[in-house]
Amino acid sequence: RGYNESSKPQGVRAYAVSELRNDVVAIADALRQDRVCLAGHDWGGIVAWEVAMHYPERLSRMVILNAPHPAAAQRFLTTKPRQMFRSWYVLFFQLPKIPERLFAARGFEAGVQALTRTSREGAFTDEDLQQYKRAWAQPGALTGMINWYRALVRYSRPQDLTPKTIEVPTRIVWGKLDEFLLPELASASLQYCSNAELVELDSASHWVQHDAPEEVNLLLRDFLLVGGAGAGAGPAGRPARPAA
């Protein structure tokens, strides 16, 4: 919700993480699927973690791309100054209207730079960037997108941050050159899973599926359609690291 041509409900509360995870379940219901495979990157990964915590019976497998378990993220944000520094924009997004205006200025220059300066060279083509700009230009889209961050700060309850062990078979794929998230968050997230593995891509950034699309597609296909947690292999035969 809030992005591109999706619906854009009014008010920050409409973007609380409880609403976002319920959207996923509602989509599965609409498709008449009791259990689904779920993959998510960044915010999509955070929502996937939430679905796995609150509706594990609706998931058969899950793949997370560069998104920390919420409990790990909370711990790092309160104890790791380096992660606090990297997450400065979350606080900036709490301001009214100003983030939207700056993001849209000069033809969405800030958004384009956020993609191109933190990814592998050539990961985003000119056509890709035009598609992003068209999505950002949709009426109400920027406010809807930024409201995800506003709601995260305003409407996260203490009980929502209580660590919950993820039982769903999970593969975490992590680009180690992430400029927004510390690489240690990947292994820290494994601590909250009972059946998970981590595959780290040394030369990929936060935008791992854009930087290494063939490798990521293989990792998705292998895990969701063929392999299983703890039994897979990383790129070029490098073993994926299972949870302890």
Catalytic residue numbers, as ranges: 42, 149, 206
Question: 110-133: buried (b, 16+ CB within 10 Å) or exposed (e) per residue?
Answer: ebbebbbeebbeebbeeeeeeebe
C-beta separation of 23 from 48 below 8 A: no
Any idea what DSSP says for residue 121?
Answer: T
C-beta separation of 39 from 169 below 8 A: no
Map tokens 């919950």 to a residue. Answer: 164
Instruction: Measure CA 202 to chain center.
Output: 19
Give the integer Cα–Cα distance in Å for 46 and 48.
5
